[in-house]
Structure 1
């Protein structure tokens, strides 16, 4: 009887083990297929843009647009690590690099401690405060898109020196490129200074932005980039600072900024469509974040949030960058209840939700 029980236990243990292995294999296949179609591989993720995707480049330049101090980074990985990311934790550049299976954290190119392997798997050239309009970066002494492109050229030379021309060509052509920029053009350069609004109305200013976007994409293509995703502008008029500055006593969404964003987005998609026809070997993927973010703001409970009109830091009405600091009183204790971390940038949780909505069904379009 004892021998029979031992045999039955052994038999069931073998069956359970086989099922576990089979389930594990199925799960692995499912994840691989969902992430990267057709067994494609991505050697690196390379990012250009503004504070949404700046993981700390501004730490290394002389500008007031910084966040390398608490409470920024409060929930970053191990906690209380103000890395220069404009959030309480991860930012979209990190999340996107992880989605493509490259690495969990995308470092800033200007980090002096970067190793060769860090470069080979991608970096972010983004600089908080930059825009399509060259004046936007100039106003706050940050790195413009043309500066970021020059750094990319330097990056290509560095990896070429490290691994040779053939592997460099493969990395450059097979990598995923993400551009996320333009909000500061509308929210700051146009809406808050007279320097552009005196020269341009919104239609002509968004023409300028779209032209600069097209020029940048053409230059990037000329340097070898082929898999390029471009984020449209979000519903910028509904971020807390814009509500405070232009939303009246009720702090309503600033319709003029939202209208400018939608107008630019329509022009950006037209430019990308035209370039896609010219560059048939490229994959130019428009990433719409306007509609998903607006839905999150209008229906926060649907996405697991409680507060959509104020940031977690301080009062949440106006604090951002140096105004969001260790002395900001009333900073919330549970940032996961908030869509916004400060008055301009989302929380890590909101970025994660938004990145999933924007990117997951578009990944196949990069290949």
Structure 2
């Protein structure tokens, strides 16, 4: 992208952001109707879709998952001791209830007009991602599911009304982590793939596929799309434990430090994703794509964990194996749970605690958040 085009795109983006006079809902003659919220993604934002999938090992509709979930509900299928970041964002936006999972049999009829969550633990950009986990709903299948939702909206409002409805809705996409964790960097199993593809080649394939998927989402009516990048997956407890167990190899050192090669590949992906978001904003000028910098935010929290009240940023709160294997496996019903979950950054082998998600949501929803570009989430949601 040449320099002049970048300047023009920046000017347009800023004009779009400043065209919204307020970041709070405005009343109209009929009262404010909050825009719908639609979420596509992986286990970081799955709110129970995998509960309804057979032949998968990535399902957690049991305690201690959900042990701290509000309103007396437990074992919700969320990959957390409580809420996910999209749950908390929805609360902040004033939604009456949490956005339901698409696969729940009760998510039908006018319920979907508030929003739907299509995310699935183990899902990825590539259809082969997560195959080692059994069944899961990858990005292409999630788009198919949204197409079904869209068909209902069209039946309800007609083509023109559906387009207006979807243009007001906010779409949040959190996808890509599993393409590294459960695809390219699987210990041993991914060796043949790594011999065929360099990390940069693999990332280029991801971006090419993601471009098609985000374009399809736009073609189905989405106009406000927040796309999260991938966090420092080389620093999750699972990868730290793997790093400490395996003998030194090309991309492992025998310690509990982060796997830098994974993070390097992710940073390259995030750089390419940032360019893709700019490209889509330039191509679809009537839309607004946001880049949500989860990598920067997660790194900030890990680097400054004590300032947020955390005491442990390396280990999982739920322990299924003794040290030094703690964090190598997901939490299970017999898992030993840390006494104070608010002191841990990670809940299980790969997912943050409710306390961490609360920090994430607060930082992402700041009026001038440096982790959301080019507009704030509120500006786009209430536009």
TM-score normalised according to structure 2 size: 0.81
The answer to whether the Cα contact below 8 Å between 1:133 and 1:209 also exists between their aligned partners in 2 is: yes
More helix by share: 1
8 Å contact kept, 1:93–1:124: no
- Counterpart selection for 1:252 from 235, 247, 257: 257
1:193-208 matches, within 5 Å, as 193-194=189-190, 196-208=193-205
Task: Give the equivalent residue in structure 2 for 1:317.
Answer: 326
How far apart in 1 are the matches of 2:46 and 2:126? 18
1:81 aligns with 2:78: no
Deviation at 1:94, TM superposition (A): 1.3
Partner of 2:215: 218
Task: Give the structure 2 partner of residue 131 of structure 1.
Answer: 124
Match of 2:154 among 160, 170, 174: 160
**Bigger Rg, structure 1 or 2:** 1
Alignment RMSD (CA, Å): 2.2
Q: 1:41 to 1:287 in 2, by over 3 A?
A: farther
> Could you tell me how far apart the structure 1 residues matched to 2:314 and 2:213 are?
34
Structure 2: distance between partners of 1:111 and 1:50: 17
Within a 5 Å distance, the mapping from 1:1-367 to structure 2 comes to: 33-35=22-24, 42-62=34-54, 63-79=56-72, 81-140=74-133, 141-192=135-186, 193-194=189-190, 196-247=193-244, 248-314=253-319, 317-320=326-329, 323-329=330-336, 331-360=337-366, 361=369, 362-364=376-378, 366=380, 367=383
C-alpha separation in 2, matches of 1:102 and 1:120: 12
Distance of 2:210 and 2:96 partners within structure 1: 27
* 346-355 vs 78-87, which moves further: 78-87
Match of 2:8 in 1: none
* 1:176 Cα deviation after fit: 0.2
Distance, in Å, in 2 between the alignment partners of 1:143 and 1:353 is 28
CA distance in 2, matches of 1:311, 1:68: 19
Shift of 1:108: 0.3
Give 5+ residue unaligned stretches, structure 1: 1-31
Give the drift of 1:33.
Answer: 4.0
C-alpha spacing 1:201/1:336, structure 2 compared with 1 (3 Å): same
**1:319, 1:101 → 2: CA distance?**
37
